[in-house]
Structure 1
């Protein structure tokens, strides 16, 4: 309807005589109605534009709301998935722990079964042994004494375990004394003689020597090497002090002032010149003495029998210390096993290493060397007896009976 209202009304055609006037009138009518139609069209376009903007704004608001809801939904779904993953991980951890505990229980059960079977077999063996030995208690006691004495004799011969052998002999004598049979007198006499021989042996302080070796091993890290040597200022040589020419001139001019009154006026320039020369000479001597002392501290010459000890790198120095520790540990093991040959060889090698690579003028090195010499002076060469007499007495009695 708006288009119909804005469309100009054209006049109906007139006869040919009045065409000119009609055309002029219709053009005049179109000219006056055209502005009203354009304004209406513009208002309509503006209304459509506003409506379109409102629609766009509504669609944007709806999109933003839906986007926010979708985002919240996604975050909620992600949180739920994360919580589900955490729950799954926890369940996996619990399941893994349960499986491990099940495996551990199964292994313990298998161990218990094996121990039970072993204990049953041992019980059966002990029962059989008891039945066999119960037939003759004397034979059983003599067999036990023979086995104990044989073990003690082996320990005495291999490890020098005098105390263990002595305890074995005393226990055997007590076991025979409880039976109170006269046929065991010969065996008890042999046991008594072996006991007296073991008690007559000189004692060796094995634990004390081992403690000294441990002390020497603990001091190795603090012992300075030849390559670690640093120049040290001598305490007997005081450091010369530099005297300035002005001070020297004043010091030399002080006694000269007392004689100025008696001096001849013509000798004044000569005395001043001699004083200046004396001050300059003293200054030069003090400076040269100080420079010489500094040069002596910078360069030190020392004769070393082993040049390779001066050329050690930090890594090689570390291995030198560790090798020395291993030598002393080997000596300690040889001491505990009463292997005197290995004990003395390891101590000699350790002392050679100290003399070759360490600074023997340092107090720590001298203390360690004295400690090793004291340990090396210990006497381990003790002729240990055997328990052959007691063993032969027991075996002869068993053979006769």
Structure 2
């Protein structure tokens, strides 16, 4: 490429007075622009500095909050870890105790199996006492005592002979008591109760009527009034009959009263049945006595059904339903002592 020659421009000289004003005004404008630029830059710097300071303060506060939260979380984790450690230790301790108890139970089963049969005998004796004193079931009490004696006999332990002797005395004492057929007595009373509706009530006993003497007509004309009355009475006898009775007449029971009477009589027999199972001798005899009194008072005594019921009630009234039972069994205290001693011996390892 060919180089072109540079063109040199030579400024044209101007007058001194006319060229100083534009130079000054340009300098002032440049200074103002520089000041404005500096002010704007300073303002922006100050604004940015303030924002940076504010952000740093907020950031520091957030860091403090985060540190506090982290501290709380660490404390909770520490507490949970301690609790978990405690629970783990407790579980291990309980597992150890459970294993120890299981080993003791197995050891007891292998060492003294007969002691459990002795404890079972003591339980049977206690059950016999409940049957006797709470339910008055004499037969069940004797059976339970016999079962307890069979278990002690199976042990084949000579040291338990005094207990077997006490059991034999308790059983003999119970067998000597009179037995009451409660079911039989209750069934008899229930059968009599069903017959109450068929019993006939007593009728009204009417006294004999007085027969008035027959009046005749007189032939005397002066007795015309008497003759007229006599004829009138004879005429009306075919329509109305009048009889005179001197004694009082008892009124019959109304249908409602008859129903109440029969139901009250049934209630008395039901009370006697309840008294049998409760062994209340006084209530039993009083209920039957009132039933007999009502039979004699309100029902036909000569009737066969009434006569039969009266005879059955007489038999039932003489039954003895209340007895004096022994306060306690001799065997009970002896068995409790032996079981307690053997249990202590097992626990101490002797």
Normalised by the length of structure 2, the TM-score is 0.50
Residues 129-171 of structure 1: per-residue CA shift (max 9 Å, x gap): xx69858544433333223222221221233211001100110
CA distance in 1, matches of 2:313, 2:246: 31
1:330 to 257, 268, 271: 271
2:188 to 204, 212, 218: 212
Would the aligned equivalents of 2:280 and 2:322 in 1 still touch at CA under 8 Å? no
Would the aligned equivalents of 1:156 and 1:386 in 2 still touch at CA under 8 Å? no
**RMSD of the TM alignment (CA)?**
3.3
SS state at 1:359 partner: coil
- Structure 1 runs of 4+ with >6 Å offset: 298-303
Would the aligned equivalents of 2:269 and 2:287 in 1 still touch at CA under 8 Å? yes
CA distance in 2, matches of 1:209, 1:331: 10
**Residue of structure 2 equivalent to 1:172:** 148
Is the aligned partner of 1:152 residue 2:128?
Answer: yes
With over 3 angstroms needed to count, the CA separation of the structure-2 counterparts of 1:300 and 1:313, relative to structure 1, is: farther
Structure showing greater radius of gyration is 2
With over 3 angstroms needed to count, the CA separation of the structure-2 counterparts of 1:295 and 1:169, relative to structure 1, is: farther
With over 3 angstroms needed to count, the CA separation of the structure-2 counterparts of 1:317 and 1:299, relative to structure 1, is: farther
SS state at 1:140 partner: helix
Alpha-carbon deviation of 1:174?
A: 0.7
Is the aligned partner of 1:312 residue 2:253?
Answer: yes
Residues 343-363 of structure 1: per-residue CA shift (max 9 Å, x gap): 223222322332333233333
CA distance in 1, matches of 2:254, 2:316: 31
**Residue of structure 1 equivalent to 2:333:** 392
**Residue of structure 1 equivalent to 2:17:** none
Alpha-carbon deviation of 1:319?
A: 2.3
Residues 8-52 of structure 1: per-residue CA shift (max 9 Å, x gap): xxxxxxxxxxxxxxxxxxxxxxxxxxxxxxxxxxxxxxxxxxxxx
CA distance in 2, matches of 1:390, 1:192: 9
Q: Please identify, of 156-165 and 380-389, the stretch whose mean Cα deviation from structure 2 is larger.
A: 380-389
With over 3 angstroms needed to count, the CA separation of the structure-2 counterparts of 1:225 and 1:160, relative to structure 1, is: same
Matches within 5 A, 1:227-376: 229=203, 310-376=251-317
**Residue of structure 1 equivalent to 2:119:** 143
With over 3 angstroms needed to count, the CA separation of the structure-2 counterparts of 1:374 and 1:392, relative to structure 1, is: same
CA distance in 1, matches of 2:119, 2:292: 50
Unmatched 5+ residue regions in structure 2? 1-101, 207-240, 343-350
CA distance in 1, matches of 2:246, 2:147: 69
CA distance in 1, matches of 2:116, 2:265: 52
Normalised by the length of structure 1, the TM-score is 0.44
Alpha-carbon deviation of 1:190?
A: 0.8
